[in-house]
A and B are shown apart, each in its own frame.
Chain A
Amino acid sequence: MMAALQRQPGQPNPFSDGSASGWRIIDASTLAEDMTLEADVVIVGTGAGGGTAAEILTQAGLTVAMIEEGALVTSTDFHMREADAYPQLYQESAARKSKDKAINILQGRCVGGSTTVNWTSSFRTPPATLEHWAREYGLTGFSATDLAPWFERMERRLSIAPWAVAPNENNAALSRGARALGISAATISRNVKSCWNLGYCGMGCPTNAKQSMLVTTIPAALARGATLVTRARAWQLEHSSGRIRSLVCVGLDSRGTDPTPRRIHVRAKTFIAAGGSIGTPALLLRSKLPDPHGVVGKRTFLHPTVLSGARMPERVDGFSGAPQSIYSDHFLDSVPFDGPIGYKLEAPPIHPVLSATTLPGFGQIHAAWMRELPYMQVVIALMRDGFHRSSPGGKVELRSDGTPVLDYPLNDYFWDGARRALATMAEIQFAAGARSVIPARPAATSYSSWREAREAISTLKLGPQTAVVVSAHVMGGCAIGPDPRRAAVDASGQYREMDNLYVFDGSVFPTSIGANPQLSVYAIVAKLATSLAQKLGRA
């Protein structure tokens, strides 16, 4: 089957001939001297928010400059190797940590942002989440009905559709185990076109099947004359009298780790922050923008995630095939927001480096686990944070060198959910045929029956660094809403204290989403950017 798939043609790499046709792309690591740019609109970040905004604003005839901290890396250079992909494509080499180092945060840092490296799962914002925003935060204009045309538009644009191919065994086991227990499970929609079902989405799609910003909106914006500056860290917005005057960016070296002396000054009429829920608040904090209610960078959410590994009797080969195709919302739909934390169940890709850093122990014990890799099945539980008063999320802070760190303390409300989720996942894995199950902890032991696992998990020691907690979703930190005491941006996405600064990324979410957030960012930003384009067009 694989051989047959491999004979398909890949989708074209838009950058292969695009650059030759005169696209304006500047790699700031190669600059010999400082430079100045001018545009109608400057967009900081090229992920789900920045990419979507760039296409819409260039379509409206505006000149756009896109600033990206990471490098431009395209399918020609995606070799499906973790050792290359993590330093090249991820924030902090895929080892970004929360302040107390209890949470490992996977976040893209490259042209296309996290959309270049995500696992393609696409969900509309759950209606319950949107209702919560309306009820608790007074947000109007963002109901499921209001957003439906924007979801449709972005689903069309990015070829988002339910995955029609059979799930790989790692996902099939989740489905099988859940159904055996009467827990609903369903198929995930993915943003892919002629996907080869390889399983390496997290290392950049080598066939351009994934309809990330890298192959869709950004090339479209470049083709309409936008300028892209890579390896440039947006450092400070210079402002006076309630307006942003310019953006100062710091050049990064060719590895993308260290600042260079080069500065890029960007003058524009309008500024858009789309650096994600850690990068955007960091830029606003560094710029010392007025923030009378101290809300910037607060209530940042992660869907903190716990993992459960299972040893299956047959090979699973969780490194192969679409990484995420099955999910269960049973433990979201069955719990109220004002009760214990709910969680979404999914399966992750199982590649050597991610597995090695997650599996317990060291030496012979760890090596023995690694030899089981092809038989390993993994389920993850993503906690829906931000909906309960005991789930206030984290706070973006600046280190002494000005780079951001997220302080996200994990409290008992979270650990209660983690414990329930570890039990749920173990039960599902045994129901799917697991020989043994291992809740991911640094000092983990495995259990050979559901009975034994249930007993042990009920008293398991869980806490920072005594359980593995990861996140692949950064959200919030610059909420949208009508109440200035709680929301830094108004319903148009405009930063309240500045006339010409907008926040167009997942930072605007008042809570987490309760689902993989990319489609929520696409749709909400499409709506906000379209309004902005109309406003700027008239001006």
Chain B
Amino acid sequence: MTRRTLLRASVAGGALLLLARALRAPVAAAASPEAGEPGLDSDARAVLAAVIPVVLEGALPTEPGAAQARDEALAGVARVIAGLPPSARRELDQLFALLAFAPTRAIVAGVWSPWPEASRESIAAFLICWRDSRFALLRSGYDALRQIILGAWYGNERAWTAIGYAGPPALSLE
């Protein structure tokens, strides 16, 4: 891909993000703030609740405790996002707005059902499509989703037993 097509693609992608944001904004603003994880609006929660089990498939514990682990993963992502600077949070807001808004969810992510009903396969296909996209913007969107979810989960000691990590050594400082 030439620099020019790349540029065009990212301009187009940026425009789509802004469009989604603009169209979505009144809806998001109208939604009443929900109690729960700090820093996650309803867009982010909808997308993450669907994407987390796919990104962490094979890592999240199965029954018992599966639901609690998913909740912890979501709370972990909220903490990760809350620790980011405003510029990075704004970009994630735009990403979640793009993914939550039905028309762009379908066109840009290829996920045709609303997130709660989206199949595991369609979510995995969306992730792979973005990872292998020729558009840098989509590749970086994939990377961002992956990093906040994986980073949050593996920072949680609940994740450590499965990977043979005993955690930091206990110190008894004199």
Contact = CB atoms under 8 A, between A and B. Distances in A.
Interface of A: 2, 6-10, 79-83, 86-87, 92-93, 95, 100-102, 198, 200, 206-207, 255, 257-258, 319-320, 352-353, 355-357, 362-364, 366-368, 370-371, 373-374, 399, 401, 403, 405, 442-443, 464-466
Contacts of B79: 83, 87
A10 B132 contact: no
16 contacts: A83-B76, A83-B155, A206-B173, A257-B86, A352-B155, A356-B150, A356-B153, A357-B151, A362-B55, A366-B55, A370-B59, A373-B163, A399-B87, A401-B87, A442-B142, A466-B139
Nearest to B145: A362
B131 interface: yes
Given A6-B169, A367-B57, A401-B87, A257 B82 contact: yes
B163 A10 contact: no
Contacts of B156: 83
Interface of B: 54-59, 76, 79-80, 82-88, 124, 127, 131-132, 136, 139-140, 142-144, 146-147, 149-156, 159-160, 162-165, 168-174
Listed residue (B79, B147, B163) with the most chain A CB atoms within 10 angstroms of its CB: B163
Contacts of A367: 56-59, 162
A401 B86 contact: yes
A403 B162 contact: no
Given A352-B165, A465-B136, A442 B57 contact: no
Contacts of B140: 100-101, 465
Given A10-B174, A82-B154, 12 more contacts: A9-B173, A10-B173, A86-B151, A86-B155, A87-B79, A93-B80, A101-B143, A200-B168, A257-B86, A363-B124, A367-B58, A442-B146
A443 B131 contact: yes
A523 to B, nearest CB: 32
Given A355-B154, A399-B87, A373 B131 contact: no
Contacts of A362: 54-57, 124, 127, 146, 149-150
B160 A352 contact: yes
Nearest to A80: B168
Nearest to A8: B174
A10 B143 CA distance: 40
Among B59, B142, B153, B170, find the residue whose CB has the most chain A CB atoms closer than 10 A. B59
A353 B154 contact: yes
Contact of A87 (B83, B124, B132): B83
B171 A206 contact: yes
A6 B142 CA distance: 42
B143 A442 contact: yes
Closest 10 CB pairs between A and B?
A83-B155, A367-B58, A87-B83, A80-B168, A465-B139, A356-B154, A363-B57, A364-B58, A101-B140, A352-B154
